[in-house]
Amino acid sequence: MSWLISLPCTRDEAEALSGEVPALDALADAPVVVTREIDEAAGRWQLDAYVETRPGADLLTLLQALVPSAKGVKPSVEQLPDKDWLTLSQQGLEPVRAGRFFVHTSYHADAVPAGATPFLIDAGQAFGTGGHDTTAGCLAMLDRLAARGASPRAIADIGTGTGLLAFAALALWPRARAIASDIDPASIEVTRTNAAINGVALGQAAGQLALAVAPGTDHPAIRRRAPYDLVVANILAGPLITLAPDIAAATAPGGRAILAGLIARQMEPVLAAYRARGFRLAARGGSAEWPCLLLVKRRRHGWRRRERALHRASASDATFGSW
């Protein structure tokens, strides 16, 4: 990457840019867009877009349209020094220790602690390198479940991103039947690559990970394997609420769901959607800002096989990100 475009934005705008952005995805040379909080006290956020060639007026106009709060602000455009930005990005991602898990990039491959369960996940096209509080919270919750003696036999990771949470679940319960899905085909290819790197067997048998490109649970392979003792969905609040009927339908009575990707102020609406479908809150983990919820489905709410999902995503759901 040789050019950096920066614009101020709000937190809500930053969250909206954390998933798929069709306007950018349609570009032949789409920029790499990241958002970050630059002043917590003042609530100031910033959009940074990296491109390989000097940006034209059309791209600058498009980026400004994505952050309406910056209307009238001239984008900052600077040429970056000629460096190996991929290597630098890997150096900047510190390893994450969550329970027994140690998630690291190639740069930190020699730093694995004794006794840890390591996963090598380099930064790439998909979300879920372990560095975000939501992913780390899910890893810690999985570890917590195993420590308490849980033994799920059927596991689904909905919106898998890099595959990390599915890999962790199989490491804890190597005899389980597991499937990982994502609406983005690129995420499934990233998961396939990461599985090979981390020695995770792909396939349909117990102890292997099946993969599916699917919006939520809407895939024959996901329906065929239901009901699940454990469903993990580290996505965003909007899709979590949208998918509540489907996740409930796919979860066995007494089964568990780990939900993350929401911020603290979104917790009650998400919980309300799942309580209405027979779940109760069993534990809360994660961080204060990014909670990770462990839900248990009440046994009086049975499961029935369906041929189609109860809810299909509408076009407006896309603003909530990839799931």
pLDDT in tens, 254-307: 999 999 998 899 999 999 999 999 999 999 999 888 999 999 999 864 444 443
CATH topology of domain 132-320: Rossmann fold (3.40.50)
Q: Are strands 76-79 and 3-9 parallel, antiparallel or unpaired?
A: antiparallel
Residue 208's SS3 state is coil
- Per-residue confidence at 32, pLDDT binned at 50, 70, 90? confident
Cβ-contact 31, 5 below 8 angstroms: yes
Q: Is 198 annotated as a binding residue?
A: no
Least Cα distance to 48 among 108, 15, 8, 103 occurs for 8
Q: Is 124 annotated as a binding residue?
A: no
d(CA 264, CA 272): 14
* Domain 3-82, CATH number (from 2.60.40, 2.40.128, 3.30.70, 1.20.58): 3.30.70
- For 274, residues 6+ apart whose C-beta sits below 8 A from its C-beta are 244, 247, 248, 257, 259, 295
Structure tokens that stand for 198 in this block: 């981390």
DSSP 112: P
Cβ-contact 155, 169 below 8 angstroms: yes
d(CA 31, CA 131): 22
Residue with tokens 């890999």: 167
Strand partners, 50: 4, 32
Q: Read off the pLDDT of each residue in 305-323 and give the average, rounded to a whole number.
A: 35
Q: What is the pLDDT of residues 198-230, one digit of tens each?
A: 999 999 999 999 999 999 999 999 999 999 999
Q: Is 87 annotated as a binding residue?
A: no
Q: Read off the pLDDT of each residue in 24-45 and give the average, rounded to a whole number.
A: 80
Q: Is 159 annotated as a binding residue?
A: yes
How many Cα neighbours within 13 Å face the side chain of 314? 4
Domain boundaries, the chain: 3-82, 132-320
The pair phi, psi for residue 6, each rounded to 5°, is -125, 140
